[in-house]
Structure 1
Amino acid sequence: MLEIKNLHVHFGVIHAIKGISLTVNDGEIVTLIGANGAGKTTTLRTISGLKKPTEGAIIFDGKDITNLTAQERVALGISHVPEGRRVFSSMTVLENLELGAYLRKDKDGIARDLEMVFERFPILAKRKKQAAGTLSGGEQQMLAMGRALMSRPKLLCLDEPSMGLAPLLVQEIFDIIKDINEKGTTVLLVEQNANMALQIAHRAYVMETGKITLSGTGKELLQSDEVKKAYLGG
């Protein structure tokens, strides 16, 4: 579904991504783990069109999307939940969700998907007329994920969904990610909670200073001494 070939990204003179290649197959959860500043967020932003690469190619569903705009990528089926949630705080929960479907014209489909989001996140149904900025961190994360699902993505890119959440909520968010995947959406997950991410991932890549240093199945990397020492506190 997604293939990245020899991707390089610069911020001025800083070489942030140094020739990485990775694949995400249809139906998978693939996770990128690594320390702060490893290049994980930059990789996601480049995939979703928020950052231009200086070299390399991004192939999605067999099509080269390297030079497409972020909006064109949403239309093709890529949706991005950014780090820090980025909900529209002065707008209601319902308005945030409706914005997720801004490229769609199928009113009946949008109404059905709204119901689906409210079924998956019952708290959002209770809070639908509330300003998004008044929600708790966990509720805002659910809203950001619900908003992304409103575009009916083939690939959902999640950037640090568990950041700043209480442990009980972290478990709930990971259960939701697994459920979204099992219902047919492919997931690319950037996450500092390596232990939780590797437990639900089919495959994983370890990033260090803009390079991929290790890859394997989630189970393989959970057992890796290198990964245990660096990311799992073992």
Structure 2
Amino acid sequence: MSMLEVENLVVSYGAIKALKGISFNVEKGEVITLIGSNGAGKTTTLHSISNLVKKASGTIKFEGKDITNMSADKIVQLGLIQVPEGRRVFANMSVKENLEMGAYSRKDKDAIKTDMEWCFELFPRLKERIGQISGTLSGGEQQMLAMARALMSKPSLLLLDEPSMGLAPILVDEIFNIIEKISSAGTTILLVEQNAYKALSIANRAYILETGVISKSGNAQDLIKDSAVKSAYLGG
């Protein structure tokens, strides 16, 4: 049984079919990436899993449970957590308050403290800015905070939507190093990412989305060498 199973997922926005019956799976412990150009349906896929958009048809199972029509807050409680595109931190709250919001559904005080320390090990910059109002952080710091806030809810599956978008190259490297550390610590990851080369270099497997259809899938290292993938997504 896969950790996440998506079958024949169809999503429409009015007359436009954003997803045309896609199927894929994520195994426990994997880093899986969805790559594709703008408008291919990557974010829609994540929103469908989290039940933030209405599905026309298809089923989604998480750890054997059918979550297709489960409310978004219940899905979060199962341990399926999304870091949205564009960071979306609570701008008027401090770094610490944002992290506490991530743990709002948890009751295990000592474990919450331990997890906050771990977040500060992963993101030392956040520790330096613990009392700072989040809206005043740089874009890179806000991305780190959005990821740390998600980790505070103890995800078993983390959905990352464009974590490197708009970041300077040096920060992109840092974010990808951190994604690898999160994976090594035992969190399964489904990554949507514009930077196809970076995504493929840390993923186990990848699915390529083209206008709502999975056009190709396979081992990430094989896809990096694939000539069609190279010319379409890797600038060569």
Q: Same fold judged by TM-score > 0.5? A: yes
User: Does residue 73 of structure 1 match 2:79?
Assistant: no
RMSD, aligned α-carbons? 0.6
The code of the aligned residue for 2:102 comes to G
How many residues are treated as equivalent by the alignment?
234
Consecutive unaligned residues in structure 2, runs of 5 or more: none
Per the alignment, residue 91 of structure 2 pairs with: 89
Per the alignment, residue 219 of structure 1 pairs with: 221
Query: Aligned partners of 2:185, 2:94: CA distance in 1, in Å?
Result: 27
- From 204, 224, 227, the counterpart of 2:206: 204
Offset at residue 12 of structure 1 (A): 1.8
Counterparts of 1:150-169 in structure 2 under 5 Å? 150-169=152-171
Instruction: Work out the percentage of aligned pairs sharing the same amino acid.
Output: 63
The code of the aligned residue for 1:48 comes to S
Counterparts of 1:17-36 in structure 2 under 5 Å? 17-36=19-38
- Give CA deviations for 1:161-202 in whole Å, capped at 9, x if unaligned: 000111111001000001100110000000000000000000
The code of the aligned residue for 1:68 comes to M
- Give CA deviations for 1:41-68 in whole Å, capped at 9, x if unaligned: 0000111121121100000001100011
Query: Aligned partners of 1:8, 1:192: CA distance in 2, in Å?
Result: 22
Per the alignment, residue 135 of structure 2 pairs with: 133
Query: Aligned partners of 2:176, 2:88: CA distance in 1, in Å?
Result: 19
Offset at residue 115 of structure 1 (A): 1.1
Per the alignment, residue 106 of structure 2 pairs with: 104
Query: Aligned partners of 2:149, 2:170: CA distance in 1, in Å?
Result: 22
User: Does residue 8 of structure 1 match 2:2?
Assistant: no
Query: Aligned partners of 2:151, 2:14: CA distance in 1, in Å?
Result: 34
TM-score, with normalisation over the residues of structure 2?
0.98
Per the alignment, residue 55 of structure 1 pairs with: 57
The code of the aligned residue for 1:184 comes to G
Consecutive unaligned residues in structure 1, runs of 5 or more: none
TM-score, with normalisation over the residues of structure 1?
0.99
Offset at residue 17 of structure 1 (A): 0.5
- Give CA deviations for 1:101-124 in whole Å, capped at 9, x if unaligned: 111111111111111111111111
The code of the aligned residue for 1:79 comes to I
Query: Aligned partners of 1:29, 1:66: CA distance in 2, in Å?
Result: 22
